[in-house]
Amino acid sequence: MMGKTTIAPEVLISIAQLATVSVEGVSRLTPGPLDVNKLFKKGLSSGVSITVEDNLVYTDLYVVLKKDYNVREVCRTIQNQVSRSINEMVGMEVGRVNVHVEDIDFSE
């Protein structure tokens, strides 16, 4: 007899967070820009917004990158890592991974 498996949005958020901060050149995640609609989205305070539509995962990541890294390369790596991690760990397809660079960390 087969049962049903459900995955809490927090699980997807955790996976996305870990995959993002593991990328070289990422300083940290940061809360996204505050607008009223986004205040109610799950996980945004953690720098990750996840939406699931038609079994596709859509992710918005708000990051601060380290100085002396190529922004485009780091963002592409983040997109690949997050997509692969979600797909491998929970078997869900990723529709889109948007990376929003909120700042560059110039401190040492």
pLDDT per position as a tens digit, 47-103: 999 999 988 999 999 999 999 999 999 999 999 999 999 999 999 999 999 999 999
Q: Look up the domain containing 85 and give its range.
A: 9-105
- The answer to whether position 78 is within a domain reads yes
Q: Could you tell me which residues are beta bridge partners of residue 51?
A: 58
- The answer to whether position 2 is within a domain reads no
CA triple 59-62-65, angle to 5 deg: 125
pTM: 0.86
Looking at the 3D structure of the chain, how many domains does it have?
1
- The answer to whether position 3 is within a domain reads no
Cβ 29 vs Cβ 38: under 8 Å: no
Distance CA 51, CA 86 (A): 13
Distance CA 90, CA 50 (A): 14
Distance CA 68, CA 106 (A): 9
Please write the tens of the pLDDT for every residue from 54-67. Answer: 889 999 999 999 99
Output the pLDDT for position 67: 96
- The answer to whether position 1 is within a domain reads no
CATH number of the domain within which 69 lies: 3.30.70.1350
